[in-house]
Structure 1
Amino acid sequence: MNPVLILLPGMDGTGELFGPFIAALGGEFEVRVVRYPGNHCGGYEGLEEIARAAIPDDRPYVLLGESFSGPIAISIAASAPGQLRGMVLCCTFARNPRPGLVALKPFVGAMPFKALPAGWLVAKQIRAAFVLALDQVTAKALRARMRAVLAIDVCDRLAHCDVPILYLRATRDRLVPRAAASLIAKIKPATKVAEIDAPHFLLQMAPMPAAQEVAAFMRISERR
């Protein structure tokens, strides 16, 4: 039986931006998209509860944590509920990827996240979809999620993950540095790191090569 692919979204939490990647998978696998409420301000623990609710009781599955959701995928995988077969981490981190920004934590509440020009954050090809996704999330929720990123450290949980790990790294990622992937590979040396020519929004900007890597990983996971 093919494993179910459970997609955990980036900071917007809507899951709307997974469209190109899901299309590139071509229907080979069942895909479930986790969606976080746009007004949820509870941080990582509360969002992890929502993600766990999508885990099937009677089927094998693979977790994919994109960007913001990487720590959620890691935390779930550490306890390996159900029939977890593997974990994909995409442009993400096990702890705050930009420790130099911790000093800004007291000022996050004043940051105008939704007022920032979309062109600063995403390529024009996905700008409209990004704006639509962001419109579904409150500024308060975005600030709460940024605070969560600045404080997160799940390295100890990563060390307890006993399933295969695939890390998708965007070679032109300006948000999550190479060091984030290196740390994960250091903690779990068996991690396969696949480098793809893309910016941070890898699944949206390079959906086909990303889908090829994930599909191959899932086929191997199916035989576990």
Structure 2
Amino acid sequence: MKLVLLPGMDGTGELFSSLLFSLSEYECEVIALPQTGPQDYASITEYVKEKLPQNDFILVAESFSGPVAARLAKEGAEHLQGVIFVATFLSKPHWLLLSIARALPLKLLSALPFAKLFVKALFLGSAASNELVEQFQSIVDSLPPRVIKARLSSMLSLSFSAELIELPVGYIQATSDYLVSSNKVTEFSACFRELQVRSVEGPHFILQANPAKSAEVISELVTLFGKQTGKGRVTF
């Protein structure tokens, strides 16, 4: 089964490199989010919809992109066979942190002496390599501040509304996630009848911090989805 990956708030997909290596048995496609234009969820969903493949696929939606995948599932996107949500939410996550982040000059924050410690503590975990931290900072620094702030505003505007959707769905929960509360998974339970929840040890950016285990769980869920839909598991 083809996997389509939607990135977190950076929107580039460049941080998926280690995960893609661990998912080498699958055909994977990353859809980067728009770096110009409106950054509200309705607009981004329409943008992504135009880029979806014309054959069966499973969405893997990280963090910021979770509500995009939920919208696509609700709309019954053509060829969508299931969704794997990763460390994400359907209503606004930690509102205080988001409000502070929206008010800060993020490029200045990234240049401060404690920036690497901040990135490790909040996003990548204490075991993150300097290479990964530097890649993360480089990507954040390359993003237009207007885009970052617009995406933060989009997250702050989210509100939860339960609506049952019939689709195979999994949720990967990071055990040390300081940005998304563990109780956010209950919102997904209210929307998807047979939600499969799996925990992976690590911080919010779990796909980057623990790519091998994340890939193992994704593979398990893909196999399960294949049994649920009767289409089996197709590898490439």
Provide TM-score, normalisation by structure 2: 0.83
Match of 1:46 among 43, 61, 65: 43
Match of 2:167 among 163, 170, 183: 163
Residues 1:84 and 1:127: Cα distance change in structure 2 (over 3 Å): same
Deviations 1:57-95 (A, max 9, x none): 2x1110111001000000001112212111000000011
Equivalence for 2:22: 24
Equivalence for 1:201: 205
Contact between 2:33 and 2:44, CA under 8 Å: does it hold in 1?
yes
Q: Secondary structure at the match of 1:169?
A: strand
Match of 1:114 among 107, 113, 119: 107
Deviations 1:145-171 (A, max 9, x none): 000000113534xx2421111100000
**How far apart in 2 are the matches of 1:40 and 1:206?**
33
Residues 1:118 and 1:52: Cα distance change in structure 2 (over 3 Å): farther
How many residue pairs are counted as aligned between the two chains?
215
> What is the CA-CA distance between 1:187 and the residue it aligns to?
3.7
1:181 aligns with 2:178: no
Matched AA of 2:105: P
Q: Secondary structure at the match of 1:135?
A: helix
Equivalence for 2:81: 85
Deviates more, 1:16-25 or 1:117-126: 117-126
1:76 aligns with 2:33: no
Matched AA of 2:34: P
> For the aligned residues, what is the CA RMSD?
2.1
- Give ranges in structure 2 of 5+ residues lacking alignment: 110-114, 230-236
Deviates more, 1:173-182 or 1:122-131: 122-131
Equivalence for 2:62: 66
Equivalence for 1:191: 195
1:56 aligns with 2:25: no
Equivalence for 2:232: none
Identity %: 28
Equivalence for 1:219: 223
**How far apart in 2 are the matches of 1:133 and 1:9?**
12
Match of 1:129 among 121, 135, 138: 135
Moved over 6 A (4+): none
Contact between 1:8 and 1:35, CA under 8 Å: does it hold in 2?
yes
Equivalence for 1:148: 154
Residues 1:42 and 1:186: Cα distance change in structure 2 (over 3 Å): closer
Contact between 1:6 and 1:54, CA under 8 Å: does it hold in 2?
no
Equivalence for 2:31: 34
**How far apart in 2 are the matches of 1:134 and 1:39?**
15
Deviations 1:157-191 (A, max 9, x none): xx242111110000001111101113222443521
